[in-house]
Structures are given as structure tokens and as C-alpha cells.
Structure 1
């Protein structure tokens, strides 16, 4: 028990020191805090210059709520729970494997660090994105998980910051299901992975932005605003009632596994989910919603 307490303490102190470093040190290119700000401002300017829904305000509905979510989920959530939880679970899992004579290396098929850097990063990115695509499907398929995911789908007007409006439980699910696949291929150091994260953040911001782009022929590879808006449509036909267009960064998985759905131009479709008029409007109540929602409410969409 003492080992876990010390691990949790080190996790909090370590991430706090890292966060201070991010805020105060502007001399490294992989600064996630200022990187997020630069990407957000750039995509917001694109929204302002090339608005798809021209009647949508620059400061759209829930703009400030989503901005708060963006910084809370990307930084403060790690400090409050995710880093300590992740390190504790990893230590427990490694100890469990050791007790039966195994280790994470036992599962490793190859190490991406032994590949040329560009190829290793590509493999890391593709494997991560595919696992996250599958995880996203689960969030829509199972009522327990969908109750958490409703926070993200409560967005009524799309904008770049809506990308990071999600319940704190979502990254717990994503990170848990990513743990073994990443162990199988090996992991890159933080500096190298920053390239992948910045790219994913940019695509994610663009997907949720007030932009009418589909990237032409590249729409079959990369998720895009015209595709992703249908993921947020309020009402879907019964044969796709559990959701469509699950891609996070890549759209290719949806085309390969036939979960793509763009019936027509989705510029003015209503967003949300059936019953969202009763969904909480403020941060605290949205975070508490899954624990206090009634079964009838949780089943209202799916």
C-alpha cells in the first residue's frame, strides 16, 4: 500500500512540476499548453474568415463553456486524477504480470523505436487512431458509456473548442483500451509523440469548427467538418441509430467498416441527441450527470 501512496504522491508532484514548466518555459517547440492556444486561435480565425454557417455567432452558443472544457480536460484533469490513476493502474498491471512470470515485453511484437523515426511515428499514430476509433464506437453502443459520452454530444453549435468538451471518464476509457496495444508496439518519448498529438489536435479542432470543408479526395483518409457534423446530428435513421462517422483523426476506418454516413449537405442539421433539452447546461451538473441520471433518460437516445 505504501508503494501506491508514494506513487500517487510522485504522480501529483511530477505533473505539477511539468505543468509549471509548460507555463513558464517558452523555449521548447513541444509545449502543449501554448501549442493548444496557437492551434485554437488559428482554427478560430479560419472559422471567422470562412464561416460555413454564416448566421452563427463568432462567440457561438457555449463558446466559453467549451473553452473552459478545453483547458480543464487537456491540463487540469491530468493533475486532478488521470496521471495518478494511470501510473497506479500501470504499476498494478505490471506487478500482476510479474507475479505470473510475465512482463509487458512479453507482449511486444516489435519496438517502434527500432524503426526509422518517420515510420515508427506513423505506426504509432495509425495503431492509436484505430484503437480510439473502436473505443469511440463502444461509447455509442453501450448505455453506461453513452451516458458519459452525452456530454460531448450536448454541443448544439459546432466550433473548434467543442472538440475537447467531454466527460472526465472518457480519457480513462480511451487510455485503458490503448494500454495493451501501445505495449505491443512500444512507445515513443514525449518529444517525438508531440508531433502526433499536435496533428491530432489540429484535425480534431477542424472537425468541430464552423467550416464547410471535406478536403476533396483526402476526405477518404482524414476526418473533416462535413463528415463529422453528421456524427453530431440529433436524430439518425434506425439502421444507424448507434452512431456514424466515428473517426477521430482518420476517416478511413469508417469507409473500410461501412460506418460512414453523409446523406446530404449537413450545414443546417440539428445537433445533439433526443432528449437533450433536459440535459444539464453547466459544467458541474454535466460532470455529475452519469451518476444521477435516470435509466429512462440514459436510454432515450440509443
Structure 2
């Protein structure tokens, strides 16, 4: 038990030192704090210049709530619980594997360091996006998980910051499902991961932005605003009552597994979910909603 307590302590102190370094250091390109700010400002600027829903305010409904979610989930959530929980869970898994004569290194199929960097990054990106696509489907199909995912679907007007409006339990679920597949692939250095991470943030921000883009023929590869708006539609088609267009960065999984759905221009469709009229409107109430929900 003492070992796990020490892991938690080191996780807190380590991440706090990392966060302080990110705030005061702007001389490296993979700074996540300022990188998020730059990406957000650029996509917001695109929304202002090329608005799809022209009657939507620049400071749309819940703009400031979503902005708070964005920074809370991207930085403070890690400090409060996620890094400590992830490191402790990883150590518990490693100890469990050791008890049956296994280790994560023995499960490793190959090491990406043995591959050309571009190929290793490409494999990492494909595997992580596919696992997250499947995890996203589970968030919609499992009632317990859907209660947490409702926070994201409570968005009533789409904008870039809605990308990071989600309950703190969601990254716990995503990281849990991602741990083994990524461990099997092998290790990556921080800058390599940053490339994929920044790209995913850009696509995610654009998906939720007030933009009417679909990227032409690239729409069959990358998720886009015209596709993702239907994922947030309040009224779902009868053949897909759990949801459609589950892609995070890539749309190709939806086309391969027939979960794609773009019946027409969805610019003015109603967003949300059945019963969202009574869903809490403030951050604290949304965070504790799954504990109080009796459905």
C-alpha cells in the first residue's frame, strides 16, 4: 500500500512541477498550455470570419462554461485526479501481470523505436483513434457510461470549446481502454505524442466549431463539422437509436462499420438529447449529475 501512496504523491508533485513549467516556459513548440490557447484562438477566429450559423452569437450559449471546461479538463483535471489515478492503475496492472508471470513488456508486439518515426507515429495514431472510436460507442450504448457522456451532449449551440466539455470520468474510461493497446505497440517520446495530440485537438476543435466545412473528398477520412453536427443531433434515426458518427479524429471508422449518417445539411438541427430540458446548466451540478440520476 505504501508503494501506491508514494506513486500518488509523486504524481501530484511531478504534474504540478510540469504545469508550472508549462506556464512559464514558452520556448518549446510542444507546450500544451499555450498550444491549446493558440489553436483555440485560431479556430475561434475562423468561426468569426466564416460562421455557418450566422445568427449564432460570437459568445454563443454556454461559451464561458465550455471555456472553463476546456482548461479544467485539459490541465486541472490531471492535477486533481487523472495523473495520480492513471499511474496507480498502471502500477496495479503491472503488479497483477507479474503475479501470473507476465509483464507489459512481454505483451509488446514490437517497439516503434525500431520503425521509421513517421510509420511509428502513424500506427500510434491509427490504433489510438480506433480504440477511442470503440470507446465512444460504449459511452453511448452502456447506460452507466451514457450518464457521464450526457455532459458533452448537453451542448445546445456548437462552438470550438464544446470539444472539451466532458465529465471527468470520460478520460478515465478512454485511458483505461487505451492502456493495453498502446503498451503492446511500445514506447513513444513526449514530442512524438505531442504531434498526434495537437493534430487531434485541431480536428476536434474544428468538428465542434461553427463552420460548415466537410473537407471535400477528405470527409471520408477525417471527421468534420458537417458530419459531427449529426452526432449531436437531438433526434436520432430509428435505425441508430444509440447514436451516429462516433469518429473523434477519423471518420473512416464510421464509413467502414456503417455508423455514418449525414441525411442533409444539418446547419440548423436541434442539438442535445431526450430529456435535456431538465439537465443541469452549471459545472458543479453537471459533474455530480450521474450520482443523482435515478433513470
TM (norm. structure 1) is 0.97
How far, CA to CA, are the matches of 1:113 and 1:143 in structure 2? 40
Residue 96 (structure 1) shift: 1.1
Residue 101 (structure 1) shift: 1.3
Query: Is the contact between residue 124 and residue 187 of structure 1 (CA under 8 Å) also seen in structure 2?
Result: no
What's the counterpart of residue 203 of structure 1?
203
Residue 187 (structure 1) shift: 2.6
How far, CA to CA, are the matches of 2:48 and 2:237 in structure 1? 33
Gaps of 5+ in 1: 296-302
**Deviations 1:201-252 (CA, angstroms, capped at 9, x unpaired):** 0000000000000000000000000000000000112211100000000000
- Structure 1 runs of 4+ aligned residues shifted over 2 Å read none
Matched residues, number: 295
TM (norm. structure 2) is 0.99
What's the counterpart of residue 234 of structure 1?
234
What's the counterpart of residue 18 of structure 1?
18
Please state if 1:90 is matched with 2:96. Answer: no
Query: Is the contact between residue 40 and residue 160 of structure 1 (CA under 8 Å) also seen in structure 2?
Result: yes
What's the counterpart of residue 299 of structure 1?
none
SS at match of 1:155: coil
Residue 192 (structure 1) shift: 1.1
What's the counterpart of residue 120 of structure 2?
120
Please state if 1:247 is matched with 2:247. Answer: yes
Please state if 1:59 is matched with 2:28. Answer: no
SS at match of 2:13: helix
Residue 272 (structure 1) shift: 0.3
What's the counterpart of residue 3 of structure 2?
3
How far, CA to CA, are the matches of 1:183 and 1:275 in structure 2? 40
How far, CA to CA, are the matches of 2:196 and 2:187 in structure 1? 12
RMSD: 0.5
Alignment of 1:160-239 (within 5 A): 160-239=160-239
How far, CA to CA, are the matches of 1:174 and 1:180 in structure 2? 11
Residue 113 (structure 1) shift: 1.7
What's the counterpart of residue 148 of structure 2?
148
How far, CA to CA, are the matches of 2:146 and 2:38 in structure 1? 31
**Deviations 1:144-195 (CA, angstroms, capped at 9, x unpaired):** 0000000000000000000000000000000000011001101311111100
How far, CA to CA, are the matches of 1:156 and 1:187 in structure 2? 40
Gaps of 5+ in 2: none
What's the counterpart of residue 298 of structure 1?
none
